[in-house]
Structure 1
Amino acid sequence: MDEAGIKPSDIKSIDDLKKLPFTTKHDLRENYPYGFFATSMDNIVRIHASSGTTGKLTTMGYTKRDLDDWSEAFKRSLTFAGVTKSDIVHISYGYGLFTGGLGAHYGAEALGCAVVPCSTGNTSRQLQLLKDFKATVLCCTPSYALVLAEAIEKSDEYTIEDFSLRIGIFGAEPWSEGMKAQIEEKLHIKAYDIYGLSEISGPGVSMNCGGKYLHVQEDYFYPEIIDPETLEVLPDGVEGELVFTTLRKEGVPLIRYRTRDLCSLYHGVCPICGRTLVRMDRVKARSDDMLIIRGVNVFPSQIEHTLTKIKELNGAHYLLVVDRKGLLDSLEIKVELNPAYFTDTIKDIEILKKSVEHMVTSAIGIAPKITFCSPGEIPLSDGKTKRTIDNRKI
């Protein structure tokens, strides 16, 4: 605050928030593990941390009130999707330092639901429990929802009619409308997008109400959209980087935390549910997930959106491989063929390959190499699925 020239007397209303400096993931990592804790460890009752895939862990401490607030936020999120205390909630998010499993668990319990804490992995057992326990709500990553759906399709033991699912609460990774449609069709459910991040609390920061947007729990988390280059606050409807200020957190309160997630905000009454909580777009991409290939900005979600529209492909099963040969970047898209359209005819394969290449080129502005894979060759993971391999030394 001293470096920014800010004094407490400068802050008179919420409009003055824009005067305050930003907090970044780098700040949290530089103060690992407890440097950002704002209360003594005597008041901390739980610790979560990020996966640490791109650097040091970001460590979050929660007081009892923090956990109560987080549970309330997730509880509300469930009600947005029509979940009631009569539902049985099967949780296939990971339990542990990752916030997904425990966030969903305590939120569902707060609503009064019966909770099945399965965590991730062991898909055959998950299917058995889903069937036998008659779960009506599934909480997991969207990619794992497809793993479960395709395991049912391939099974000699189950059909989709054996299951009681009606609602899916999916988050923790970006997913397209095409992927959502696939999940709904395969699992015979209504799919909802939930958003959260461990630095702010965990899943339940915002939730889809059934329409296009997600409602932010803005009495807990105050959102802004900024231009990631100029850092200026942007008006409603303009895409930029999502920033949050926590309003009640005691353990690790954060001021203007830069999420790196790209979306827009909208104020006013929701035309779908009538709520007045600020709405945000589904996060389609992150500013740090962006690939720059031959000077063109490319987001994996752009490619996924195109692939899932092509009926001959299993578009949710793809892998992007970026490489540099000499001075030229290359993009290879490996994608599975849909078993229903699998063919050994070279001519048909080449025609389809050129069609896919043309559609992707039109979407992202550069021509990729398309490689078709056999069904099941690109497995989806139990947790967050890795979509990109960047072999460039940049």
Structure 2
Amino acid sequence: MDFSVEYLEIDQLRALQSERLMNLIDYLEEKSGFYKGKFNELGISSQDIRSIEDISKLPITYKQDLRDNYPFGLFTVPKNELQRIHCSSGTTGRPTVVGYTKEDVDLFSEVVARSLYAAGARPGMQLHNAYGYGIFTGGLGLHYGAEKLGMSVLPISGGMTTRQVDLIMDFKPEVICCSPSYALTIADEFAKRGITADEISLKYAVLGSEPWTEIIRSHIEEKLGVHAVNIYGLSEIIGPGVSMEDFEEKGGSYIWEDHFYPEILDPATKQPVPFGEEGVLVITTLTKKAMPLLRYWTNDITSLYYDKNSKRSMVKMKPIVGRSDDMLIVRGVNVYPSQVEEAFSHVKGVIPNYYLTPVEKEQMCVALDIDLEIDNDFVTSQNFEKNSDDYSNFIKNFEHTIEGEIKKRVGITTNVKIHAQDSLPKCEGGKINRILKKK
């Protein structure tokens, strides 16, 4: 594969983006009744878009637009020209449907292959693919991308954790992909069997589909002996492979902006924020054919930056703080689960398997209840007898320490309840919801 586009000079990249955006607007004027109507409402045409700098003139597209045009109203090709269809699970209203031409499937494979290479994967390696197959884009997306890179793929999908561990030990893959929460579950299964990191063949873990923090990264890397890196994407844009961390850099993910142009907008005003500031990530698909989207509102909160020490010239995005619709307001303080997780990660002995339950009083969220696990080895090192007064006092002090750390770093009141390791529900293959029903 040719990765040279990742190293284009910025002016060359902007010229490529401008050309692709102008071609896209011409294409949408001809092929998309939805966008043609939006252009007429705004009083704009292709003549008003002369460079990538004009992108702010274009309409924002929302998930509701996909639902309102269910199932195929946003497609720009006839159904018989589609090679693949994916859709969301539809757990909240109608599912969102996305389609791919042969060119789109090739593009999907290309950006995933590019992402896997950045993650450390190389031709000839084996990928243990524990992402779900089916209508979810993750399983097939990683599968095709790995094959394009020249890897062999075990398409095991999610679940059956004991079998996953058996096959990793037997087949000895170098790379695994799954959600971060499921990687924790797999790591715990290895630990239960007494299998240490140096006995595991895995070298790279490609993790995505949910926000995660450094405490989860360090736990996975320690238990599995891997470089754990984040892959980002969403089905409306293409699937995984929109953005990828480099295994030698970490902390920020390259956006493959020759295909996906990113903006950061203010959640309230919908206007661009100054470069480097936090807001909602908005993405325009510059090269898709079956269902191109203009300025798609992802709901993910992040910021963009350029790193002068980076290998590549493309922009990076910082780790997702959370989704704008997952934000909790606790006594006037805006809080995302990842912020709480980052705060308690500073307390030794915490296992990053937790749940948040908002506590409401008089129609206001006044606190968060947090159910959280403690490391068994850490407890054992304290030399307390189980159920003794000393043990009970230790647990109470541990809970208060975590509450104090969250208060100091996030500024909210929490009620922490500590549970033994492996006693809270775990992820069994897909995404995990850390926020439980309000009390």
CA contact (8 A) 1:323 1:390 kept: no
Residue identity matched to 1:319: Y
Please name the residue that 1:186 is paired with: 223
Give 1 or 2 for the bigger CA radius of gyration. Answer: 2
**Within 5 A, what are the aligned runs for 1:211-250?**
211=249, 212-250=251-289
Q: How does 1:365-384 map to 2 (within 5 A)?
A: 365-381=411-427, 382-384=429-431
Of 213, 236, 239, the residue aligned with 1:202 is: 239
SS of aligned partner of 1:84: coil
Query: 2:187 maps to what in 1?
Result: 149
- For the residue of structure 1 that corresponds to 2:128, the secondary structure is strand
Indicate the percent of aligned positions where both proteins have the same amino acid. 45
**In 2, Cα distance between the equivalents of 1:41 and 1:51?**
21
How far 1:328 sits from its partner (Å)? 4.7
Q: What is the CA deviation profile of residues 105-161 of structure 1, one whole-angstrom value per residue up to 9, with x for unaligned ones?
A: 0000001101111100001110111111110001011111110111011115x4434
* 1: CA distance, partners of 2:161 / 2:313: 39
Aligned counterparts of 1:17 and 1:25: Cα–Cα separation in 2: 19
Give the structure with the higher percent helix: 2
CA distance in 2, matches of 1:4, 1:367: 46
- RMSD of the alignment, in Å? 1.4
Q: Tell me which residue corresponds to 1:318.
A: 354
Tell me the secondary structure at the aligned position of residue 371 of structure 1. Answer: strand
* 2:416 aligned counterpart, secondary structure: strand
Q: What is the correspondence of 1:45-60 to structure 2 with a 5 Å cutoff?
A: 45-60=83-98
Contact (CA 8 Å) 1:77, 1:194: kept in 2 or not? yes
- Give the C-alpha shift of residue 52 in structure 1: 2.1
The correspondence of residues 86-235 of structure 1 with structure 2, limited to 5 A, is 86-155=124-193, 158-210=195-247, 211=249, 212-235=251-274
Name the amino acid aligned to 1:43.
E
Cα distance in structure 2, aligned partners of 1:332 and 1:308:
17
Letter in 1 for 2:245: N
2:294 equivalent to 1:255: yes
CA displacement at 1:232 relative to structure 2? 1.4
Q: Is the 8 A contact 1:209 1:272 kept in 2?
A: no
Aligned pairs (5 A) from 1:284-299: 284-299=321-336
In the alignment, residue 322 of structure 2 is paired with which amino acid? A
Selected match of 2:399 from 353, 372, 375: 353
Q: Shift of the alpha carbon at 1:80? A: 0.8
Structure 1 counterpart of 2:18? none
Q: Deviations over 1:298-356 (max 9, x none)?
A: 10000111222322221x11000113244453310000111123354222122111111
Conserved 8 A contact 2:303-2:317 = yes
Q: SS of 1:2's equivalent? A: helix
Is residue 355 of structure 2 the alignment partner of residue 309 of structure 1? no
TM-score, with structure 1 as normaliser? 0.95
CA contact (8 A) 1:95 1:101 kept: yes
> Which region of structure 1 is more displaced relative to structure 2, 362-371 or 101-110?
362-371
Secondary structure in 1 matching 2:325: coil
1:281 match: 318
| Alpha-carbon displacement from aligned partner over 1:28-61 (angstroms, at most 9, x marks no partner) | 1111111111110011111111222332111001
Structure 2 counterpart of 1:372, which letter?
A: I
**Residue 40 (structure 2) pairs with residue 26 (structure 1):** no
| Unmatched 5+ stretches in structure 1 | none
Q: Residue 145 of structure 2: SS of its match in structure 1?
A: helix
Report the residue type matching 1:363 in the other structure.
R
CA distance in 2, matches of 1:61, 1:220: 17
CA offset at residue 96 of structure 1?
Answer: 0.8
* In structure 2, C-alpha distance between the alignment counterparts of 1:175 and 1:360, rounded to whole Å: 17
Q: Match of 2:93, SS?
A: coil
**Aligned length in residues:** 388
- Report if the CA contact (8 A) 2:200-2:225 is conserved: no
The alignment partner of 1:115 has SS state of strand
Letter in 1 for 2:369: E
Amino acid at match of 1:227: D
User: Which amino acid is the alignment partner of residue 341 of structure 2?
Assistant: E
Contact 2:176-2:204 at 8 Å conserved across structures:
yes
Cα 1:325/1:230, change in 2 over 3 Å: closer
- Whether the 8 Å contact between 2:99 and 2:291 is mirrored in structure 1 is yes
Contact map agreement 2:196 2:223 (CA 8 A) in 1: no
Structure 2 unaligned spans of 5+: 1-38
Q: For structure 1, which segment, 325-334 or 275-284, has the greater mean C-alpha deviation from structure 2 after superposition?
A: 325-334
Distance 1:371 1:52 in 2: 33
